[in-house]
A and B are shown apart, each in its own frame.
Chain A
């Protein structure tokens, strides 16, 4: 019996209609522009996008929708002991100059929070250089909208 028929026949006896939440489908990364990103990766790291290893050791926190593209909070947390992280880099695929910022934690905790500027809706990349020469990657996407209520 489908839900509709069920409701029709037994609707009144139904104590509380509890529809279960449908998990939101995972989105393809919005604002991806690998060609533009590639140039910046070459320039800053001398590497290509395919040299980066996606890793869940990096937690990149970005707003889904920016309050203002001119001032977007960004936060990177690396789940590695201090001393094992050589550098943390941030890139925005769609910015005319994709490289946003780089940070060398030295012996400090590998955590970095800052504000960045996004020209438009873009994929954001956190690239972590480890002490043993690996390049780890985490990605997020932030939407920059024209705005208006609807």
Chain B
């Protein structure tokens, strides 16, 4: 990347204040027209989570890091992420990167994402590259098929059709497997592109079930794309969904795949990964010969590449927010240099791919009323992402407690997907599916002893705050409602959680409490409540919303964090 190009990027995207914003809005095509660079182009996105329509998505106010990892990409938020990348506030890139000024920017720049818009942008970029004699690959970092109304209505199929219309060359996977092994395998068969995975293997014999890599001729060079599936599928989801499969992290097998690709003539090796940013950075230090990692799962956005050892890392954003354009300058043996561009998917300023628009319409039409009927109006900002707490999860907690007053505490899974609802916006079922669209949506009620509650919170905290990424399972902290506690992320494992209170009283280790949970495996620890029939969480929240008509949630975090500044976003305008 040379200085002039970078200046252009920063002036177009990030370097200008509100005045520059106005200019970009007058002529948004400035954002998307790039001079050619290098020998090969990768058009990369990740973690779309089935979002068919343009929507809003606010970045987390807090990403609390274990102390030794503080300041690394993946743990930067708000002001720090803007400073780290030299981005000014109130610019289009600041809108994508930071929770600051979110509502104001959402109103000025409009919603992000949308399948028809993302396809149009991919096609336009690909055409640009090809017109200049280059070659571009379209790479999908996974978590594409699930967690939306459109996905649930079609059991993921609409997303595969969309990938085929868009021309996805390769994908990797995670939540795809929650459709169940049989359905996932059927849909991989329907995919025109290719699912790559070095680590989906037969559980008993260890035989690989998908190609680990594919080599592409790109100009004078050969580029290998190696695929890595999320390694904790079995730990994170009901294991009956993936019987007979293993997804375990296997450095030796990954090293073999990289070495084999090089032996077959690959000049550069690119790992298309769903490991999450921290685990990818740790792997970059241990596996030899990977030039570039395209890193999904943790929904991070890295406007500039991160260099770890001899490996570049670029994260792929999420929710349809951005298309990452990565142009590679190659040499015999690797990547000489690269240019990374964040192309924001600002739906109001991009054309729509007509065929995708028509396809989505055909799938949605019979369900339009069901998906888009307003259930209640939100008077405050409802966001999901944060390490510990969100106004959306607080709302879910209230809903569960309103319908089941006997419940003492509610656990809400800390998935990173979802959407954001602006103050004054109506909440629809499509929003409920965007937040709660599990293929296993049941809300369980079960008894836990006080000691089990404490050890569960410790277990979750150790998965998030262990400094060694190999021991992090790659999620945020499950949200809780009805309890309060003090968290010390720097304490040793087993001592991070203190002063737990349930319903305002100190936790009694020997008492039984009635817990509610969904979207995880926690219910297995407890003893099911007799006479309660599990029902989908989105139906529970729908019933609550209809009864309320309007809702407002002031952020009131129930976790006190020791040793960190915990930031609370502005939720009302």
| A residues neighboring B (CB under 8 Å) | 4, 7-8, 11-28, 30, 63-68, 73, 143, 145-150
Contacts and interface: CB of A to CB of B under 8 A. Distances in A.
Given A12-B15, A16-B307, A22 B519 contact: no
B459 A24 contact: no
Most buried by A among B337, B416, B468, B522: B468
Contacts of B246: 67
B69 A143 contact: no
Given A64-B471, A146-B521, A19 B73 contact: yes
Contacts of A28: 492
A16 B15 CA distance: 16
B305 A148 contact: no
B65 to A, nearest CB: 10
A145 B10 contact: no
Contact of B305 (A16, A20, A22): A16
Given A148-B478, A149-B237, A27 B413 contact: no
Contacts of A12: 6-7, 10, 15, 86
Contacts of B1: 15-16
B475 A15 contact: no
B307 A18 contact: yes
B445 to A, nearest CB: 16
Given A4-B83, A22-B69, A150-B478, A65 B473 contact: yes
Interface of B: 1-3, 6-7, 10, 15, 68-69, 72-73, 83-86, 231-232, 234-237, 239, 246-249, 281-282, 284-285, 304-309, 337-338, 340, 413-416, 456, 459-460, 462-464, 466-471, 473-478, 492-493, 519-522, 524-525
A20 B307 CA distance: 6
Given A18-B305, A147-B236, A150-B463, 15 more contacts: A11-B86, A13-B6, A14-B6, A16-B337, A21-B281, A30-B471, A65-B231, A65-B235, A65-B471, A65-B473, A146-B522, A147-B520, A149-B236, A149-B414, A150-B474
Contacts of A27: 466-468, 471
A40 B449 CA distance: 31
26 contacts: A4-B83, A14-B304, A15-B6, A16-B304, A17-B84, A19-B307, A21-B285, A22-B68, A22-B72, A24-B68, A24-B467, A25-B68, A27-B466, A27-B471, A30-B493, A64-B249, A65-B470, A65-B471, A65-B473, A68-B234, A68-B239, A145-B235, A146-B521, A148-B478, A150-B475, A150-B478
Contacts, number: 146
B206 to A, nearest CB: 9
A34 to B, nearest CB: 16
A22 B72 CA distance: 8
Contacts of B85: 17
Given A15-B1, A16-B1, A18-B305, A25 B468 contact: yes
A30 B465 CA distance: 14
Nearest to A15: B1
Contact of A24 (B3, B7, B469, B524): B469
Contacts of A148: 236, 413, 460, 475, 478, 519-522
Contacts of A19: 72-73, 306-307
Contacts of A18: 305-307
A138 to B, nearest CB: 17
A63 B519 contact: no
A28 to B, nearest CB: 7
A118 to B, nearest CB: 13
A146 B456 contact: yes
B309 A21 contact: yes
Most buried by B among A21, A145, A149: A149
Contacts of B468: 24-27, 64
B492 A24 contact: no
Contact of B413 (A25, A26, A65, A150): A150
B489 to A, nearest CB: 14
A21 B185 CA distance: 37
A149 B415 CA distance: 6
Nearest to A30: B493
A13 B282 contact: no
B353 to A, nearest CB: 31
Contacts of B474: 150
Nearest to A11: B86
Nearest to B239: A68
B402 to A, nearest CB: 24
Contacts of A21: 72, 281-282, 284-285, 307-309
A7 B83 contact: yes
Contact of B304 (A17, A73, A143): A17
A17 B85 CA distance: 8
A113 B492 CA distance: 32
Nearest to B245: A67
Contacts of A64: 249, 468, 470-471
Contacts of B84: 7, 17
Contact of A150 (B72, B308, B477): B477
Given A7-B84, A16-B1, A146-B459, A63 B306 contact: no
A121 B340 CA distance: 41
A148 B235 CA distance: 7
Contacts of A149: 236-237, 413-415, 475, 519-520
A114 to B, nearest CB: 13
A87 B242 CA distance: 37
A143 B232 CA distance: 12
Contacts of B414: 149-150
Contacts of A13: 3, 6
Contacts of B469: 24
A67 B247 contact: yes
Contacts of B467: 24-25, 27
Contacts of B307: 16, 18-21
A15 B232 contact: no
Contacts of B281: 21
Contacts of B463: 145, 150
Contacts of A17: 84-85, 304-306
A35 to B, nearest CB: 16
B236 A67 contact: no
Contacts of A24: 68-69, 282, 467-470
A14 B415 CA distance: 35
Nearest to A28: B492
Contacts of B340: 16
A120 to B, nearest CB: 10
